[in-house]
Structure 1
Amino acid sequence: MNKPGTWEEYSNRFINHLRFERGLSDETIRAYASDLRQLQEYYFSRTGNEDLTLSDISADFIRGFLASMHKRLEKTSQARKLSTLRTFFRYLDDYDLFDENPADRVASPKTKAKIPSFLDVDDVFHFLDALQKAATVAGCSWRRVRNWALFECLYSTGIRVGELVNLDEPHVAFDGGMVKVTGKGSKERVVPIGKKALVSIREYLNALNLQFPEGCAQNPALFKNARGGRLTARSVQRILQMELKKCGLWQHLSPHALRHTFATHLLNAGADLRAIQEMLGHSNLSTTQRYTHVHMNQLMKTYDKAHPRSRKRE
């Protein structure tokens, strides 16, 4: 038997739990909060009543909520919302509010495995070389140098765009060729960064000091906007699309695609999957294994060449 409790009361407790106890990122917390709020809005659209209580939630109600958005949302988005509700009700187990998690009784939408988007090596070199050329023209804007450094760094390290924009200048160790990154759950890790990326960052910092001769001590952000503040992930997305078009690459790619590209190219070059997992900051190896499909043809060629039972007898 359910005990009384308002949806808003316990959803607020849940969000505080995610923020202060689990230490999830602001972006992840916003996604959880949005999913819970949408269910409350669905209840109001059905009943005209704003006072949703936990006792109003059943498996059938959740099925109706997911069905209400099947035409406007991909199945992956629906599955994520169901996952949010399952996590929320598991959290409520500590309060002994439900005999059974109603979200566990709802089947997840069947989704196709999404193949990560990525650029091939030639396209990446063409893109980064075009950025470097534009950044080394005499009298070019400091932002041209920033954009070169921005995407050299993203491809060289494979870090998330949120991690990229949260980098501060002291996080880059030029002598050691490493970058200190704060990832999901405020977990810190150190990842290698290549010489090309380090050169581009040095050039960018020199251009930045000329642009802001008084310095930007009040904001230690590595990648800055035109006002000297920290660049945002949304701005990086916009800059990437602009730069891709400038060099003739019309693929609609997100900054995350450069992370996929980083992982795919390392894997194709024979890097160990565990090492890639460490650099990407994946807590589970299964997440990293999404990239294994892209080099399957190469793997099969290696197998046919090396395996004794796959070779023809001479």
Structure 2
Amino acid sequence: MVTGGRAPVAGVVRAYLDHLVVERGTARNTVESYTRDLRRYAAHLDRAGVTDLAAVGPEHITEFGMALREGDDEHRPLAASSAARALVAVRGLHRFAHADGITEQNPARDVKPPAPARRLPKALPVHDVLRLLDLPATEGERPLRDRALLELLYSSGARISEAVGLDLDDIDHDQRTVLLDGKGGHQRLVPVGRPALEALDAYLVRARPALASRGRGTAAVFLNARGGRLSRQSAWQVLKTNAERAGLASTVSPHTLRHSFATHLIEGGADVRVVQELLGHASVTTTQVYTLITVNTLREVYATAHPRAFG
């Protein structure tokens, strides 16, 4: 047990926080969070009988990480992101102490913060998607445009930015495909379903010419009321407005139809690598998060339908 020493924990913590403020110019909110985290760390070490930072070993930091995630007598468990931030603060403290010669070793060097939990993308049930797509009217310039936009987003899995970036030549009606400009300048050819093509045709024939007449001439597929290219923000507002009308506002984000597209494909039996290509993901690992949704759905169905699910 260490009762004192040349590197008292509280003193080093104060020096480290001063270093963040004065020399690193760290944001105030970050410093406040680190202050709370390191006070909790110092209290944890004190309960373990450690008051000298030089006496800290990797096991103390690992035990602190467990206490963050599981809680202790004085604190409730932290969310994974908050626990990870606290361990980042602890690693920064020990790195600072070692670099300044306060301690001979850095016991936190090989202690890694826990990987943040993978958040499952929100996907709408098929019946909610269909209700959303049916909301825009079939007459009028903006309703026809909005219907075509929503149908395209769900049919192709396009990001909103990719949809508003479409030009007329990017649509191949004969091949039923659209050419999307994805992240990093990568293009991909994506098939489009018949309902989306029909909505696009209706918009291009009966609404876009009137919108285009108010502008200076643009090849953009989706136009705003002034005849210019529809912005990403305006396209998101189209989705948001119709989601509110459908009673889905709390579950809708700019990527909702894209997530629904991917989830429904995988639930329908599509290979994850095919979905990867359709979404334009550089790595299949990014796409595999959608398989987690399917597994969770299978578990729910099993738990409610199998007569011996609970033994």
- TM-score bracket, normalised by the shorter chain, equals 0.5 to 0.7
Aligned twin of 1:210: 210
Aligned twin of 1:111: 116
C-alpha RMSD of the superposition: 3.6
In the alignment, structure 1 residue 130 sits paired with structure 2 residue 129: no
Percent identity, aligned pairs only, is 38
Q: Secondary structure at the match of 1:255?
A: coil
CA deviations over 1:13-36 (Å, ceiling 9, x no partner): xxxxxxxxxxxxxxxxxxxxxxxx
Cα deviation for residue 233 of structure 1 reads: 1.6
* One-letter identity of the residue aligned with 1:271: A
Structure 1, unmatched stretches of 5+, are: 1-42, 58-62, 83-103, 304-314
- CA–CA separation in structure 1 for the residues paired with 2:117 and 2:134: 35
Aligned twin of 2:66: none
- CA–CA separation in structure 2 for the residues paired with 1:146 and 1:193: 17
- CA–CA separation in structure 2 for the residues paired with 1:172 and 1:66: 50
In the alignment, structure 1 residue 182 sits paired with structure 2 residue 173: no
Aligned twin of 1:310: none
Matched length: 218
Cα deviation for residue 120 of structure 1 reads: 0.4
Aligned twin of 2:274: 275
Counterpart mapping for 1:94-243 below 5 A: 107-108=112-113, 110-131=115-136, 134=137, 136-137=138-139, 140=140, 142-206=141-205, 207-213=207-213, 217=217, 219-243=218-242
Cα deviation for residue 187 of structure 1 reads: 0.8
* One-letter identity of the residue aligned with 2:253: S
- CA–CA separation in structure 2 for the residues paired with 1:253 and 1:237: 10
- CA–CA separation in structure 2 for the residues paired with 1:106 and 1:234: 42
Counterpart mapping for 1:77-88 below 5 A: none
- CA–CA separation in structure 1 for the residues paired with 2:271 and 2:115: 31
- CA–CA separation in structure 2 for the residues paired with 1:211 and 1:290: 40
CA contact (8 A) 1:209 1:215 kept: no
Q: Secondary structure at the match of 2:250?
A: coil
* One-letter identity of the residue aligned with 1:117: K
Structure 2, unmatched stretches of 5+, are: 1-17, 38-79, 89-108, 303-311
Aligned pair in 2 of structure 1 residues 112, 170: CA closer, same or farther (>3 Å)? same
Cα deviation for residue 281 of structure 1 reads: 0.6
- CA–CA separation in structure 1 for the residues paired with 2:243 and 2:151: 13
CA contact (8 A) 1:241 1:252 kept: no
- Could you tell which deviates more after superposition, 156-165 or 206-215? 206-215
* TM-score, normalised relative to structure 1: 0.60
Higher Rg of the two aligned structures: 2
CA contact (8 A) 2:20 2:31 kept: no
